[in-house]
Amino acid sequence: MSTNNDPNKRYEVLFSMLEIYNEQVRDLLSKDNPKGGLNVRQNPKLGMFYVEGLKKVPVGSYSEIEKRMEQGNFTNKCNLL
């Protein structure tokens, strides 16, 4: 991992977590998922795929990422019951 000590550069790390099950995409960080799942789209200019409405949470450390992963796993387990 490289480091950059340039004080003029800023970084933002966003975390999302999704599940694809039975051809439906669900946001594991959101309590509200539309019936039928979220839509996967492609940006025609960039050619990149993205999920419409997927929650993006800013994180500042690895421990915050772990916390969000636990949240997503808990949401997934609750939906299985």
Q: With 90 as the cut, is the pLDDT of residue 12 above it? A: yes
Locate the domains of the chain by residue range: 13-80
Average pLDDT on 49-70 reads: 96
pTM for this structure? 0.77
Q: With 80 as the cut, is the pLDDT of residue 39 above it? A: yes
SS3 per-residue string spanning the chain = CCCCCCCCCCCCEEECCEEEECCEEEECCCCCCCCCCECEEECCCCCCEEECCCCCEEECCHHHHHHHHHHHHHHHHHHHC
Q: With 60 as the cut, is the pLDDT of residue 51 above it? A: yes
- Separation CA 49–CA 42 (nearest Å): 4
Place of tokens 């550069």: 9
Q: What is the pLDDT of residue 31?
A: 86
Rounded to the nearest integer, the mean pLDDT of the chain is 90
Average pLDDT on 16-38 reads: 93
Place of tokens 């999920």: 51
